[in-house]
Chain A
C-alpha cells in the first residue's frame, strides 16, 4: 500500500502531463484533476509516515545499489506536504489566471515540474536526484518564459543556462563519488564515505551546483529577473518551491551523506553566504520599484536565513536543542513556501487589476482588492517573521540557540534582516492605503483570491501555532 503511494506521488502528475498534452482542449479540467489526485496521494503518504515512520520502496525487483529506490522520511514528507499544498493552490489559481492558449502550454509543463519536485523529495540515490533536478530546472525555465515577453524570455534563457550549469556541476560531484565508491544510494554511501580529497571535492562540486540552483548569494543574480518576469502562478512556484528543492537537497546531503566530512568552517562559509543573502536581498527588495521584483529579492533574502542555520547546527551538540534547531529550519522553509506563493499570487492579481505593479502607484489597492491586499499583508507577516507565523517560531529558536552558543553575529544578521523585511513589506502596504474609497467588497474573484489568501493565512496563522506535528514528523527519520 505505502509502496504504491510513493510511486503514485511521482506518477500521477507525470501521467497528468501526458494526458493534458494529448487532450489540450480539456487541459484545465484534467490538469486540476491530476493536481487534486497528486496532492491527496502525498497527504495520505505523509499521514502514514507521521503515524508509522519512514517508508521505502525499491523498483524493478533490484536492491539498493542497482534499482530505483524511493523513500519518504520526516524531512522529505514535510517538504512534500508543503509543496503539494502550495502547488494545489497554484493550480486552482492558474486555472482562471491563464488565457485559453497559454493554458495549453502551462498544464503539461506544470505537471512535469510537479512530478520532478515530488521525485526529488522522495529519491534516494544521487543519480535519480540529478534527473529530477534537471527536469525541474528545464520545466521551470520553460514555464518562466510562458508570458512570452522579451524580458521574460531573456531572463529565463539565462535561468535555463544557469540551471544546466548547476546540475552539471552537481553531476560531476556525483560522478566523482561513483568512481571512488561505485555506488549512488545515499544511505549506502554514508556508511563508507570518509574524509579525504575525493569526498571533499565531490561535496564542493555538488554543493556549488546546488547553491547556484538555490540562488544563494552571490549566485542569486539570475533569480530576480527570472522570477519577476514570469507569470504570477509560475513565479509563485519558482520562488516558493523550486529554489526550496535545491535547499532541501543541500540539507539532505548535509545530514545524511556528508556528515563525516563536514566541519565548522564549511558551515561558516554557508552561514556567511546566507548572511550576505539576507542583507543584500532585503536591501534590494527595499529599493525595488516593482512589486514582483521586490518579492523576488525577498526570496533571495529568505533563502539566506535557511543557510544561516548551518553554522548554528554545527555549533549545537546533538540533543533536544539541535532537534529543535533542525525543526526550526524546516519550519522556516515551509512557512516561506506558503508565504511567498501567497504573496506572488496576490501580486499577480494586483498587477492584473492595475495593469502594472509599480509600488509607488499602487494607491487604492487596499480598497479595490481587499483580499489580495490582505494576502500580501498576511504573507508579509510571515516574511518579516512576526508572530504568530511559523517564521517567528523558527527565528525564536534560531536566535535562542545562537545566544546560548554565544554566536551573537548571527543574531545581529537575523534581526537586521527582520527589520529590513518589515521596511520593505510595509512600504508596499503603506502605498495600498492612500486613496479614496471604491465600494468595499472583500472577495471579488474567489477562484484566484481564495488560494492566495489561504496560502498567506496558513503561513501567518497556522504553521506557527500548530507546528507540533512537525516535531513528531521529523522524529520519524531525521532526528534522534
Chain B
C-alpha cells in the first residue's frame, strides 16, 4: 500500500487502537496501560514529524474512503491541519504523562485512558479532515469521547456538568450537520480548498450561503464557546484537571475555533466572506466574547472557573484573527491556536497541582503558594503573563500580529478591543500572581497532601507544566526561527492569500 495515502489514517489510528485496547485492560494492569499510552503518543509524534517534513516539502498526503457514491471520508494534510495536528500530538503526549501522575490510584483508569485516547484521535481527525463531511464526523466523535471524561468522577456535580455539556454540544452538532448538508445540497461535496470553493458561486444563491454560514457558525460556536453559546464551558470544570487541560487547550474548544478558521478560509474563502459582510459579523461576535469572557473571569473566585472564562475570551482571538481581512491578522489568529494551547494547558496543569498538593481551589486561598510550590508557580506565572500579552511570552506575539493586522485593515475598533481585553486580562491575572509571590504563606493549607520526595509534587505532575511553560516562552523568544508556530502560521497565511 502506498504509504503517503496511509499516513493521515495512521496518525488517527495511532491513538485510536491503543485506546480501544485499553478499554479491555484490567484496572490493575498499570504498566501495560502506561506502555500502550506512551507507545501511541510517541508513534503519533514520529508520524506527525514525518508529515510536517513532507508538507513543508510540498508533499501531499491523502487517505480517501468512499462511503457512498458522492460521499467520501477524506483525511489529508495541508499547512493548517499540520499545525493543529502537531499541537494536539505534542500536548497529548504531555497531558498523558500528567494524567498518569494525576490519576495514580484513582478508580476506573482503563475507562478514562480509553476515552482519553479516543478524544485525541477525534481531534487529530478534525485537524486532518479534508471535507466538511469528514469534519462533522470527527467533530461528533469528539463530543462522544469527551462526555465520559467530563462525567468521569460520577458525582452528582459531574453528572450535571456532563449533561449540560452534552446538551450544548449535541445542539451545536445538529446545527453543524444541517449546515453542512445544506451546503452540500447546494454546491456538491465540500472539500477544504485553499482560497475557498465559493468564490464563483452564482449570485442567486449568495443569500442562502450567508444563512448557511451562520448556521455553521452556530454549530462551531458552541464548542468554540462564542457568547452566548459558552454556557457549558464553566460547568464542564467538574472534570479532572487533565481533562480540563485537554478540553481547553487541545481538543474541544480548539476544534470549534479550528472549524471556524476552516470554514472562513477553506470553504467560503476569505475574499467571499469579506465582501459579503460575514467577516464583520464574526468580528463583532468574537469581540463581544472576548470582553464578556474577561469580565466574567474577573468575578470568579474558583481558580478553574476563572481560567475557564479566560478560555472563553482567549479562544475568540482566533476567531477575531480570522475575521480581519488581511494576512497579518490571519497570522495572529492562526498562531494563537498554538500559543493559547501552550499557555492555557500550563495554567490548568498548575491549577491541578495546587488542588492536588494543597487542596487550593480558590483564588482567595492562593496566598503564598509561590514559596510552597515554586516550580508550579513559576510555570503558572509564565502562562499568566503570556495570556496578558507581556513579551517575550508567546501571547505577546499573537496580540502583536492581531493588532498590526487590525491597523493594516483599518479596523481601529479591534485595537480598542485588544487593549481593553489585555487590561482585563491583567486585572484578573495580576492579583493572582501578587498573592502567589508576595503574600505570606498561611499556617495551614485547605487540604495538604505532603509529597514524600525532594520535589514539591510528583515529577509526572511537575514536569508537564514546566515543559509547556518553557515552550510558550520559546515560541515567543524564538518566534522568527524556522519551524516555530509563527513561521508556520505565516506559511499558512501566504498560501491562503495566494501570494
Residues of A within 8 A of B (CB): 320, 323-324, 327-328, 366-367, 370, 374, 381, 386-388, 392-393, 396-397, 399-400, 403-404, 411, 415, 418-419, 422, 426, 429-430, 433-437, 439-443, 464-465, 467-468, 471
Contacts and interface: CB of A to CB of B under 8 A. Distances in A.
Given A439-B27, A467-B67, A468-B66, A430 B163 contact: yes
Given A366-B111, A411-B178, A442-B23, 6 more contacts: A320-B70, A370-B23, A388-B137, A396-B177, A426-B163, A426-B170
B107 A403 contact: no
A121 to B, nearest CB: 23
B174 A324 contact: no
Interface stretch (B154-162, B222-230, B344-352, B442-450): B154-162
A403 B212 CA distance: 13
Interface string B78-91: 00000000000000
B292 interface: no
Contacts of B152: 433
Contacts of B171: 419
Given A324-B68, A419-B174, A442-B110, A433 B159 contact: yes
A478 to B, nearest CB: 15
Contacts of B144: 381, 386
Given A440-B27, A465-B65, A370 B182 contact: no
A193 B337 CA distance: 65
B162 A396 contact: no
A430 B68 contact: no
B185 interface: yes
Interface in B8-48: 23-27
A278 B147 CA distance: 25
A422 B154 CA distance: 20
A403 B181 contact: yes
A433 B23 contact: no
Interface of B: 23-27, 65-71, 73, 107-108, 110-111, 133, 136-138, 140-141, 144, 147-148, 151-152, 154-156, 158-159, 162-163, 166, 170-171, 173-174, 177-178, 181-182, 184-185
Contacts of A387: 136-138, 140-141
Lowest 3 CB-CB distances: which A-B pairs, in order? A437-B107, A387-B137, A403-B185
Contacts of A404: 185
Contact of A440 (B67, B108, B147): B108
B110 A433 contact: no
A320 B68 CA distance: 11
Contacts of B151: 430, 433
Contacts of A426: 147, 163, 166, 170
Given A387-B137, A393-B71, A443 B110 contact: no
Contacts of B163: 426, 430
A327 B67 CA distance: 12
17 contacts: A386-B144, A387-B138, A388-B137, A388-B141, A393-B68, A404-B185, A433-B151, A433-B154, A434-B154, A434-B159, A435-B154, A440-B27, A441-B27, A442-B26, A465-B73, A467-B68, A468-B67
Nearest to B110: A440
Given A442-B23, A465-B67, A437 B108 contact: yes
B208 to A, nearest CB: 11
A346 B185 CA distance: 38
B68 A327 contact: yes
A387 B135 CA distance: 11
A231 to B, nearest CB: 28
Nearest to B160: A430
A403 B177 CA distance: 13
B461 to A, nearest CB: 22
A471 B69 contact: yes
A436 B154 contact: yes
Contacts of A442: 23-26, 110
A440 B26 contact: yes
B17 to A, nearest CB: 13
A226 B185 CA distance: 41
A400 B181 contact: yes
Contact of A396 (B24, B71, B158, B174): B71
Contacts of A418: 174
Nearest to A370: B111
Contacts of B27: 439-441
Contacts of A430: 151, 159, 162-163
A339 to B, nearest CB: 15
B107 A464 contact: no
Contacts of B185: 400, 403-404
A415 B170 CA distance: 11
A450 B147 CA distance: 24
Contacts of B170: 419, 422, 426
Contacts of A435: 154
B181 A399 contact: yes
A77 B85 CA distance: 42
B178 A399 contact: yes
A258 B227 CA distance: 54
Nearest to B158: A433
Interface centre among A367, A418, A433, A468 (most CB of B within 10 A): A433
A467 B73 CA distance: 12
Nearest to B134: A387
A418 B174 CA distance: 8
Contacts of B70: 320, 324
Contacts of B166: 422, 426
